A and B are shown apart, each in its own frame.
Chain A
């Protein structure tokens, strides 16, 4: 489930935000955390995630920090992305969560 109204930023300094619900059974445990950070690392943009739209924000490129979030199934994962490839990055992150990290 994507948040359809991902806020559009005219300039790269304004971060893009969007959220998606964790559908995979185990939530954001070890394996999904690894996949998430691997995906995030493909982009130059600064990518952060949180369980609430107000943060606290966690660096999505740090596998240790992402695992510490311990987000369960059904939790809403908020993303905040800033950088020149931010839009593509955000779409990739949302797709990954939406697809249950390929493990349903």
Chain B
């Protein structure tokens, strides 16, 4: 189950509010620890509420892992911009990034918990999405 050669799945938190994104990341760090690559992004390019593709791409880069990256989003634009960011990745990376259908805060903590045990990207996504199951 563990995959030390590839490392743990990275987690990216995308919220319209940078405060929510940062706060969710704080919760992940405190509850799950530092064994998981983690990055957050929030706000539009002018610093208002919103999301932006460049910021999401940067976050995916920062949390990159050969095991893949799971993206947790809040509402509407966060999801569509995340999907757009994934589209813009190099082809070999695109398949290793998934946007999870899960609540952003809870999903991030659960995804990171799953990842910290060395689980695959598919298992990380599945676990985060159990919230809506």
A62 x B130 contact (CB < 8 A)? yes
- Mask for B96-120, Cβ within 8 A of A = 1, else 0? 0000000000000110011011110
Candidate in A42, A61, A62, A64 with the most chain B CB atoms within 10 angstroms:
A64
Count B interface residues, CB 8 Å: 14
A62 x B118 contact (CB < 8 A)? no
A30-B109 contact given A63-B127, A64-B130, CB 8 Å threshold: yes
Q: Which residue of A lies closest to B112 (CB)?
A: A34
Q: Indicate if A17 sits at the interface (CB-CB under 8 A).
A: no
B130 x A34 contact (CB < 8 A)? no
For the complex formed, measure the closest distance between the CB of A98 and the CB atoms of chain B, giving whole angstroms. 21
Interface residues of A in 29-67 (CB under 8 A from B): 30-31, 34, 37-38, 41-42, 44, 61-65
Q: Whole-angstrom distance between the alpha carbons of A37 and B116 in the complex?
A: 10
Q: Indicate if B1 sits at the interface (CB-CB under 8 A).
A: yes
A64-B118 contact given A30-B31, A34-B32, CB 8 Å threshold: no
A65-B117 contact given A30-B109, A34-B32, CB 8 Å threshold: no
B130 x A38 contact (CB < 8 A)? no
A42-B117 contact given A31-B31, A64-B110, CB 8 Å threshold: yes
The residue that B114 contacts in the complex, of A30, A42, A44, A63, with Cβ under 8 A, is: A63
For the complex formed, measure the closest distance between the CB of B130 and the CB atoms of chain A, giving whole angstroms. 4
User: B32 to chain A: which residues have CB within 8 Å?
Assistant: 34, 38
B116 x A38 contact (CB < 8 A)? yes
A41-B1 contact given A34-B113, A63-B114, CB 8 Å threshold: yes
For the complex formed, measure the closest distance between the CB of A14 and the CB atoms of chain B, giving whole angstroms. 23
B117 x A61 contact (CB < 8 A)? yes
User: B117 to chain A: which residues have CB within 8 Å?
Assistant: 37-38, 41-42, 61
Q: Which residue of B lies closest to A66 (CB)?
A: B113
Q: Which residue of B lies closest to A68 (CB)?
A: B130
Q: Whole-angstrom distance between the alpha carbons of A38 and B119 in the complex?
A: 11
User: A64 to chain B: which residues have CB within 8 Å?
Assistant: 110, 127, 130-131
- Going nearest first, the 5 A-B pairs with the smallest beta carbon separation are A41-B117, A64-B130, A63-B113, A34-B113, A63-B110
Besides A37-B113, A41-B1, A65-B130, 5 more A-B contacts (Cβ < 8 Å) are: A34-B31, A62-B130, A63-B110, A63-B113, A64-B131
